[in-house]
Amino acid sequence: MAASFTIPHLSFSPLSFSNYLHPTLSLPSHSHSKISSISFSASSRCFHKSHSPKESNKPLFRFPSSHPRFLPTDSSQSTPTYRDVLLKSAASDGGVSTSSSFSQTVLGVVHLIVSLGIIVATDKLLKGAFVAAAIKFPSALFGMFCIFSVLLVLDSTVPAAATGVMNFFEPALLFIQRWLPLFYVPSLVILPLSVKDIPAASGIKICFIIVVGWLATLCVAGYMAIAVRNIVKTEMTDAEPMKKPSSFSSVEMWSWTGIFLASFVAALFYPTALGTSARTFLPFLLASTVLGYIVGSNLPGSVKTVFHPIICCALSADLAALAFGYLSRSGLDPILASYLTKTSSNPGAGDILMGFLGSVILSFAFSMFKQRKLVKRHAAEIFTSVIISTIFSLYSTALIGRFIGLEPNLTVSILPRCITVALALSIVTFFEGTNPSVTAAVVVVTGLVGANFVQATLDNLKFRDPIARGIATASSAHGLGTAALSAKEPEALPFCAIAYALNGIFGSLLCSLPLVRQSLIAIAG
């Protein structure tokens, strides 16, 4: 590739340098100079004037022979040319670039591990402290309030420190956002065990409550947001930009495929190689779950409309469990029981995934802090809609369950159907005789219904305002609905994220009040 540069009234013919370009050089022009162009030859290393035909063959000037750069070259000596120097320099730069890229990758991985590890460790410490103190209030929710408060204090006193904290935890937050639907999957994977003892008639009633309750909650939240918007008339402003996690690569898919195949075969021959069946089955059950999510996420958009990635994820894990149960002749139920043991000393793949739910709640603090200006500006619409829709969701579920004759313990178990799994499981611990597996399954199914039908429903209801669309989606279908809507309508994402967090927070606070719990139990029968 030839490179060229110009000087006023001067024009240099280029040297042929491979993949190299000279920087532009400019020199002052002289008005009395009659030189119109000069050519620089790499072979003769001399300058020739080309102003007139008569003088075209006369040398304009020569460099002194004593100048080391222009000494005559001896063919017997292996003196490197300028081209050779450039090529070596480029090769050296390539090596430095490769080394730098590798170093950045290693530092990025370490940064992710440290930041995510701090969040997970904080969740575990808080959970242990609350258990030791016999406090029933969700520990992760308390931690979220603490983190949010600290960030607000730092922002008002030392803004640079608040920014530094946000930047430090950003890799962990992107990791949680990237894998968020995966943390809901265990409840769907063990659904065959959860509904085993539930009569078919009760199952149909629960499905009825899920569909009707979702639509009713969406309408209440959306219309309330529109009504308040018409009253306050707050102008829309741009939200803080939110980074999107990277898509899944073929390397990740093949890596998890290798883990699945190797651990599956090893578990067949040595079912207790790691001490217990749950720990031995953990690698291939976890790999099958992750593979299902990666494959489901890479499906065409038209397919994902009716076949959500989380469904693909759950089916993948169930098929792996079914295949292992068949080949080992142990059946499906023991494998699913090993998937989610709910025992910290003997965890399964589902326990590992659900172990991140507390960290998800802690991450809400960072999301809310990032959108704090938006929350303050649209506080009337957001808080009013979320509070009313949460109250409506809890009491309407209890009322419909009583009306259609659903068993009281099942009705209470599905009360937090519109609240994210992490907090829904904490809420049902306030009540006695509930079935947490049913709670988790109903919450996930509610999210799936919202993820598949929320956009079309919002369009049919004539909800055009991104605030109303975001709040209605998150209040009725929590995280899965949020992910589905924000993928196509990024302008609604901040409102989805805020309502998603506040809905669970307010629901937890509400159910922690004895008076509210007693009234819900009385309505449910």
The confidence score (pLDDT) of residue 470 equals: 87
- Among 457, 141, 441, 179, which Cα is nearest to 292's? 179
Element at 60 (helix H, strand E)? strand 59-61
Give dist(CA 176, CA 361) in Å, integer.
Answer: 10
Cut 0.85: pTM above it: no
User: Look-up: residue for tokens 């792996």?
Assistant: 320
Q: In the structure encoding, which two tokens stand for residue 71, read together?
A: 């000494």
Q: What is the mean pLDDT of residues 3-32?
A: 40
48 membership: H or E segment, kind and range: strand 47-49
Classify 24 in phi/psi space as left (phi over 0), alpha (psi -120 to 50) or beta.
beta
Contact 314, 188 (CB under 8 A): yes
Residue 38 backbone phi and psi in degrees, to 5? -135, 140
Residue 451: pLDDT band with limits 50, 70, 90: confident
Measured N-to-C along each axis, helices 379-404 and 466-488 cross at an angle, to the nearest 10 degrees, of: 80
The per-residue pLDDT for 70 is 40
pLDDT digits (tens, 9 = 90+) for 292-327: 999 988 888 777 767 778 888 889 999 999 999 999
Closest CA to 340 of 327, 357, 326: 357
What one-letter code names the amino acid at 126? L
3-state secondary structure (DSSP) of residue 15: coil
Q: How far from chain centre, in Å, is Cα 134?
A: 33
- Tokens representing 176 are 């949680």
Residues in the chain: 525
| Residue 500 pLDDT exceeds 70 | yes
Most confident range (mean pLDDT) of 55-64, 147-156, 227-236, 498-507 is 147-156
Asked if residues 511 and 524 have their Cβ atoms less than 8 Å apart, the reply is no
As beta bridge partners, residue 2 has: 16
When mean pLDDT is compared over 110-119, 220-229, 369-378, the highest value belongs to 110-119
pLDDT at 80: 52
Identify which has the larger pLDDT, 465 or 475: 475
Residue 420 · residue 360 · CB < 8 Å: yes
Residues 6 or more apart whose CB falls under 8 angstroms from that of 285 comprise 317, 320, 321, 335, 338, 339, 348, 349, 350
Q: Once rounded to an integer, what is the mean pLDDT over residues 352-365?
A: 88
- Greater model confidence, 229 or 100: 229
Contact 479, 366 (CB under 8 A): no
**Residue 213 has what pLDDT?**
92
- pLDDT at residue 184 greater than cutoff 70: yes
What average pLDDT score do residues 148-154 get? 94
**pLDDT, greater one: 89 or 506:** 506
Nearest CA among 47, 28, 45 for reference residue 37: 47
Q: Which of 186-190, 445-449, 482-486, 513-517 has the least mean pLDDT?
A: 482-486
What would the mean pLDDT of 360-377 be, rounded to a whole number? 84
Angle separating helix axes 200-232 and 436-460, nearest 10 degrees: 50
Q: What number is the average pLDDT over the span 318-339?
A: 93
Give pLDDT, residue 154. 95
Comparing 81 with 101, which gets the higher pLDDT?
Answer: 101
Lowest mean pLDDT among 122-136, 233-247, 328-342, 432-446: 233-247
Mean predicted lDDT score pLDDT of the chain: 79
Between 87 and 104, residue with greater pLDDT: 104
Find tokens 């016999």 and name the residue. Answer: 134
Strands of 314-386 (E only): list them.
none
With beta carbons less than 8 A apart as the criterion, state whether 443 and 472 touch: no
Q: Which tokens sit at 158?
A: 């030392």
Question: What is the mean predicted confidence (pLDDT) over 360-378?
Answer: 84
CA angle (493 as vertex; 491, 494 as ends), nearest 5: 95
C-alpha span between 419 and 389 (Å, rounded): 11
